[in-house]
Structure 1
């Protein structure tokens, strides 16, 4: 009887530990697309993505470290203090403002690689979110810029979502009046398309099968 009681107590204790497991802590690290430009905080990409994951029974918290107007160089400068201790993974989305400003793609690549390196040194997993260069930058610039993200993901074995604005570009009903930033509906579509990749990313952090 004592042995039976010990087994029951041990099982309850193990169940209690599992039930009390902390959610995976993510940080959305990026620019205005991550920050939720001109949108209420609850409609930002990080907020909608967290809600969508929780609805799928994925225990996760996503902090918003998006800064409107930020470049890859700005990301290098602030990554150490914008990503706090205890962070399990970072959704890294930077580069759009680099392209808009015509910053050499090689410089953007170098900065993104520096950010990835700093995060990996801290044992933080990275999901890289890509951007495409605007067509007006020309074919040569576009080719050099657009290969940054797949090359970086391949080099460091990173999870990759190729294009953050997939499905939103050139759809005015999904954009703010500036024709560049997504509105609430645009963010919702972005979340819908990103969700499988982010969900798999969280599972790799948890060490559970996808």
Structure 2
């Protein structure tokens, strides 16, 4: 009998796919891929939920996580992706939205909440920002630096190692060509960037199809 597995993608606007008017972002590309595979009659059904919310930090995640997990819980198993940090590390009014220590504790708390629902937890790296906004206060009043991106990514990488989770390193993939893969705002990927993220993530979801 075929299984029905759920994939839950928690995150901010980069998970949601903001600024991609062509594909709808990397998670939506994965949704279509999984659906296509199912209709081809290959293996189990993998239903993916895009739970990205623009502007969300790990503080918002912890508030909604228990509700979202209980609302979308497949008896056959769940995969959970956590894509946070781009908002947490932003400096607004002279302070981080979520400082590194709190970010670390929030991700730890999220992992503990997810564990009863899933053995398959993925931590998604933060993308680099464009050179033109590195250290610049943008219209939203937020300031981001690539230096901080590295600091927060190290927290995610270390936690992935500590809890034996998979760390999806989009950061390294973007680094060399970030100016071509990011949209005009310097934070969100463009269609090419989102497409590349999906290509990296397809082998991960293939295991469950």
Contact 2:123–2:166 (Cα < 8 Å) also in 1: yes
CA RMSD of aligned residues (A): 2.8
- The unaligned stretches of length 5 or more in structure 1 are 1-17, 204-210
C-alpha separation between the residues in 2 aligned to 1:43 and 1:168?
A: 22
When residues 119 and 143 of structure 1 are mapped into structure 2, their CA distance, relative to the original with a 3 A threshold, is: same
Measure how far apart 1:132 and its partner are: 5.6
TM-score normalised according to structure 2 size = 0.73
Contact 2:18–2:24 (Cα < 8 Å) also in 1: no
When residues 74 and 40 of structure 1 are mapped into structure 2, their CA distance, relative to the original with a 3 A threshold, is: same
Match in the other structure for 2:85: 95
Is 2:145 the counterpart of 1:150? Answer: no
Of the two, which has the highest radius of gyration? Answer: 1
C-alpha separation between the residues in 2 aligned to 1:147 and 1:90?
A: 20
C-alpha separation between the residues in 2 aligned to 1:123 and 1:182?
A: 28
When residues 144 and 52 of structure 1 are mapped into structure 2, their CA distance, relative to the original with a 3 A threshold, is: same
Contact 2:16–2:25 (Cα < 8 Å) also in 1: yes
Structure with bigger RCO (C-alpha 8 Å, 6+ apart): 2
Match in the other structure for 1:109: 104
Structure having the larger proportion of residues in strand: 2
TM-score normalised according to structure 1 size = 0.73
Is 2:51 the counterpart of 1:44? Answer: no
Contact 1:131–1:165 (Cα < 8 Å) also in 2: no
